[in-house]
A = this chain, B = another copy of it.
Amino acid sequence: MEDVAIIGVGQTNFSRSCGVSIRELCFDAYKEAMEGLDITNQDIDASITCSAPEYDKQRTPSGLISEYLELTPKPAFYVETVCSSSTTGLRIAWSLIKSGLHKVVAVIGFQKMSELTSREAAERMGRGADIIWEAPFGITMPAGYALYAQAHMTKYGTTEEQLAKIRVKNASYGAKNAKATYRKELSLNDVLTSDIVSNPLKRFDCCANADGASCIIVASEDVARKVTKIPIWIIGLGAATATMTMSGRKLLTGLTCSQEAAKQAYQMAGVGPEDIDVAEVHDCFTIAELLAYEDLGFAKPGEGVRLIEEKETYHDGKIPVNVDGGLLSKGHPIGATGGSQVRTVVRQLRGEATEAQVKDAEVGLVHNIGGVGQYGNVVILRR
């Protein structure tokens, strides 16, 4: 079977409120992804739209976006695993191509969270926990990750300062990313003195709701070699779930869905954590980035803090992580996030990441989580 490659990536600016409709957002991301490719709309065989539906006033947006991007009558599907929706879309795009059904698929992720008030958004986001057994008792997103932080601190002695250092790193790269919502550097003191959201997580330990869209154009080998100079090959794919209920989980010092997805992706790619030159991990909270260091095998359990203490996850370190600012700086427009992570790694592997290029990056990893560790996707890419 032919290999499958990413041939185009695009992203809008992420912001607290974009002021345009979802169709316009998606068009902007699609336009950037198609730039410089020797194909047109007519060559797109199918589109996969990814978002968390509870924020959309438009029902079944995939048909609408397909029409607006002039992709009709090609099939259009909607795919969702909350915050990891667009890497789930990428997995499905890979399958649709690898199976021979399609040659070129567009994966379009978006979210316009400003359609709702913060209060409405918080209520709907809360419904991401089991609405019978857990949501009514307050397992919100920050509360869920705060439990993981507390467990990690208790078992390994991890400190609030160490978590804060992750935000300081990501803010330093966010400042260089023209498409990020937050472009200000932050000091350790800024982070440590910010308001408590859910103990021990403070405001600057948390990412923010945002508006934005991303797009990935995926193609079969024969098309990829024809239409682009630098195809980026999808060499590893892993996907897993954990129980939706926190009470059903045995481990609270790591995300089992990340561990399982990473295992699958490394095996499929024939590489290990030591081979990864650049990674984007799902830092919806500072603790989430720390857990990812360990779950992805960049550090042993309990030793992830050394990577940030020793600045090994900066762009000139041993394993650069989130050198585009991460979700913490970019903001987190749910359905668009995975596609934005993929865009960053693709630009790194192509050598186009002038803001913070990792030298000679050849193999990259994307780690994208849905909910409080319910869904985990890991994608490994090679130049």
Which one, B46, B60, B130, contacts A374 given CB within 8 A?
A: B60
CA distance A374 to B62 in the complex (A): 10
CA distance A6 to B80 in the complex (A): 24
Q: Is the CB of A241 within 8 A of B78?
A: no
Chain B residues closer than 8 Å to A223, beta-carbon distance: none
**Chain B CB within 8 A of A124 CB:** yes
Q: Closest approach, in angstroms, between the C-beta of A38 and any C-beta of chain B?
A: 25
Q: Give residues of chain A (38-64) contacting chain B, Cβ–Cβ below 8 Å.
A: 46, 52-54, 57-60, 62-64
Q: Closest approach, in angstroms, between the C-beta of A86 and any C-beta of chain B?
A: 12
- Can you spell out 28 A-B residue pairs with CB atoms less than 8 angstroms apart? A1-B99, A21-B132, A53-B53, A54-B59, A58-B130, A59-B82, A59-B124, A59-B125, A63-B81, A63-B241, A63-B371, A66-B241, A67-B245, A67-B248, A73-B256, A74-B240, A75-B239, A75-B241, A76-B81, A76-B241, A76-B375, A77-B80, A79-B80, A92-B92, A95-B98, A96-B99, A98-B99, A98-B100
Q: Tally A residues with Cβ within 8 Å of B.
A: 60
Q: Is the CB of B73 within 8 A of A240?
A: yes
| Interface, chain A (partner B; CB < 8 A) | 1, 21, 46, 52-54, 57-60, 62-64, 66-67, 71-82, 88, 91-92, 94-96, 98-101, 124-125, 127-128, 130-132, 237, 239-245, 248, 256-257, 260, 370-371, 374-375
Q: Is the CB of B57 within 8 A of A127?
A: yes
Do A80 and B78 contact each other (CB < 8 Å), given the known contacts A1-B1, A92-B92, A99-B99?
yes
The secondary-structure label for the interface of chain A is: mixed
This chain: copies in complex? 2
Apart from A54-B59, A59-B127, A63-B375: 4 A-B pairs, beta carbons within 8 A: A53-B80, A66-B244, A73-B256, A76-B241
Chain B residues closer than 8 Å to A248, beta-carbon distance: 67, 72
Q: Closest approach, in angstroms, between the C-beta of A248 and any C-beta of chain B?
A: 6
CA distance A141 to B164 in the complex (A): 52
For A70, give the chain B residue with the smallest CB separation: B243
Q: Is the CB of A60 within 8 A of B76?
A: no
Q: Is the CB of A81 within 8 A of B78?
A: yes
Chain B residues closer than 8 Å to A62, beta-carbon distance: 80-81
